Structure 1
Amino acid sequence: MQNFSIAPRELFASAWRHRELIAASTKREVLGRYRGSVLGIFWSFANPLFMLAVYTFVFSTVFKARWVGGNGSKIEFALVLFAGLIVFNLFAECISRAPTYIVSNVNYVKKVVFPLEILPSVGLLSALFHAAVSLAVWLLAYFFLVGIPHVTVLYLPLIVMPLLLFIMGLSWILASLGVFLRDVAQFVNIVITVIMFLSPIFYPVTALPEAYREILLLNPLVPVIEQTRAVLYFGVPPDFQALLICWIVALLMAWFGFAWFQKTRRGFADVL
């Protein structure tokens, strides 16, 4: 029986060894989503633009919502809201698909030489591409509606990278559990909906009573959304102490998820 390493360095070494396969699979994943459509990959730009317009109209015009502590303008609310949605959508797209990464690729399981551990990486990079497009739409909207973006935008990779590592770790766990427990996919969809409303997307953390803030901070998306919004819209540097904690938690989660996947993958073929 083949042994699969769970060493922390193997987490990154495997991705590097199979980088060409990951790149080719990601390209196929992105292009395959729009295959056969008239507008093709243009939809990746149209979707975030459309959602930005819809959320802006619904929350700022219908519900008369204003951002707490802001200047009260519709433009501010739209940009602040959309910044949070970019982070959430990246997380939701990966995690909602994670339980099906293995069960939807049964033919790969039968091939001993295929590196199953890269499947979550392909899903993550595909979601990251769409997040990057949404970010480009956000920056263009900010430029035309507000002005030149803050230089603090350059901090964004430091904030997003821990989220990517966290997503990878959780995706490996869910991909494995999805093989043995098919109900996981349904449960995850419910949890994602709950997380959306328990994340500071439509409101800032400061809008909540202090008694509830500690509970909200258990949500791993909270610091990422708050700091993304700070560097993108408000021009405030990130909280480096909180950022360091995010990096430590994310690295531990990534390694634990990878180790879990490597330990359980021997049973995939028997179940499938």
Structure 2
Amino acid sequence: MPDAAMPAKGSGRRRHLLGPLLKREIRTRHKGTFGGLYWYVIQNVIIVLIYSSVFGSILRGMWREEGLGEINFTIVLFLGLIQYNLLSEILIRAPHQIVQNANLVTKVLFPLEILPVILTGVAVFNALVAFCVLLVAAFVLNVPLSWNGLWLPAVVAPLVIGAVGLAWILAALGTYVRDVGQVVTLLVTAMMFLSPLFYPIGMLPEGLRMLVAFNPLTVPIMEARSVLIFGQTPNFTALGIYWLAACSVMLLGRWIFEKMRGGFADVV
């Protein structure tokens, strides 16, 4: 009976720690700055202004060629950037999570597995702030958004679920091999251009289109634009497969993390 109760106690401890640690991490990111949490808003406003002004006039024609008419490229681009920034922040920071919290590794009762979850939570918070900026921008630019956008949680949730799994894997690997962070940074950059962030996937050659389809950003970016901007219902087949893949990655990531965590104290 005591053994059976252990998971429940451990689970309760993790839930108890998660909220306070998440709040502390969000506050710490901008501690000592004059802007504080407002920097989340400022950063997203600057990002959308830069990307839309630099790439807007160049790439808008690609969307016209796909028969999408005079859609506002700023909102199309920003919606994709929110999801790219969400995933890239998690992947880039994940390999350093255990090393940067080495003081917690030797604490037997501390659940190290929540560190990548906290990292993901901060990224989700940033994404929610960015989405609020998008809603304001759409109102200012008079861009109509569809009520089908209510499907957005179902579209973006598997991206977050899969990101948690990847964060567990990268956190474990990065503890043993410090070069993992450098490799991930390169892959994240490539992932930006191998996703339908700046262009509609239909304009790509067939061979390259298949490569882009396997990018973890492709389905959520396309489906988010489909429901929120173009007013369509989700592609439930693609979304179902994506959900299955994301859950599998999360389970695999947790398994790998648990298998590798035993040696963390020896290498940090």
* TM-score, L = length of structure 2: 0.92
Residue from 196, 200, 203 that aligns with 2:199 = 203
Is the alpha carbon distance of 1:16 and 1:95 closer, same or farther for their aligned partners in structure 2, counting shifts above 3 Å?
A: farther
Q: Does structure 1 residue 92 correspond to structure 2 residue 92?
A: no
Report what 1:158 is aligned to.
154
| 2:69 corresponds to | 71
Q: For residues 191 and 48 of structure 1, what CA distance do their matches in structure 2 show?
A: 23
- Quote the offset at 1:60 in angstroms: 2.1
Equivalent-residue separation in structure 2 for 1:208 and 1:168 (angstroms): 30
CA 1:54–1:202 in structure 2 vs 1: closer, same or farther (change >3 Å)? Answer: same
Tell me the residue number matched to 1:45.
41
How far apart are the structure 1 equivalents of 2:201 and 2:242? 17
Alpha-carbon deviation of 1:82? 0.7
Amino acid at match of 1:120: P
2:252 paired residue number: 256
Q: In the TM superposition, what is the alpha-carbon distance from 1:108 to its structure 2 partner? A: 0.5
Aligned-partner Cα distance in 2 for 1:18–1:169: 17
The equivalent residue for 2:98 is 102
Q: 1:111 maps to what in 2?
A: 107
- Using the aligned pairs only, state the percent identity: 42
Question: After superposition, where does 1:89-238 map in structure 2 within 5 Å?
Answer: 89-238=85-234
Deviation at 1:43, TM superposition (A): 1.0
Task: State the one-letter code of the partner of 1:55.
Answer: Y
Question: Contact (CA 8 Å) 1:153, 1:235: kept in 2 or not?
Answer: yes
- 1:16 deviation in Å? 5.8
Give 1:72 deviation, angstroms: 3.5
- Corresponding pairs, count: 259
> Is 1:150–1:232's contact at 8 Å kept on the other side of the alignment?
yes
Cα 1:13–1:141 shift into 2, 3 Å:
farther
Deviations 1:152-178 (A, max 9, x none): 111011011111110011110110000
1:271 matches 2:267: yes
Distance 1:209 1:146 in 2: 34
Question: In the alignment, which residue of structure 1 is the partner of 2:242?
Answer: 246
User: Any stretches of 5+ residues in structure 2 without a counterpart?
Assistant: 1-6
Match of 1:81 in 2: 77
Distance across 1 between alignment mates of 2:12 and 2:79: 31
**Structure 1 contact 15–118 (Cα < 8 Å) conserved:** no
Shift of 1:14: 6.1
Q: Which runs of 4+ in 1 moved over 4 A?
A: 12-17
CA apart distance, 1:149: 2.5
Given the superposition, is the C-alpha separation of residues 119 and 262 from structure 1 closer, same or farther in structure 2, using an over 3 Å criterion?
same
Residue 201 of structure 1 and its aligned partner are, at CA, apart by 0.3
Counterpart position of 1:26: 22
> Over the residues paired in the alignment, what is the CA RMSD in angstroms?
1.7
Q: Deviations over 1:67-107 (max 9, x none)?
A: 2432245xx11110111101100000000001001011100
Quote the Cα distance in structure 2 between the aligned partners of 1:180 and 1:35.
30
Task: Report the counterpart of residue 7 of structure 1 in structure 2.
Answer: none
d(CA) in 2 for partners of 1:16, 1:156: 30
Q: Equivalents in 1 of 2:163, 2:11: separation in Å?
A: 15
3-state SS in 1 of match to 2:16 = helix
SS in 2 for 1:18: helix
**Mapped partners of 2:9, 2:92: distance in 1:** 26
Match of 1:5 in 2: none
Q: Which residue of 1 aligns with 2:4?
A: none
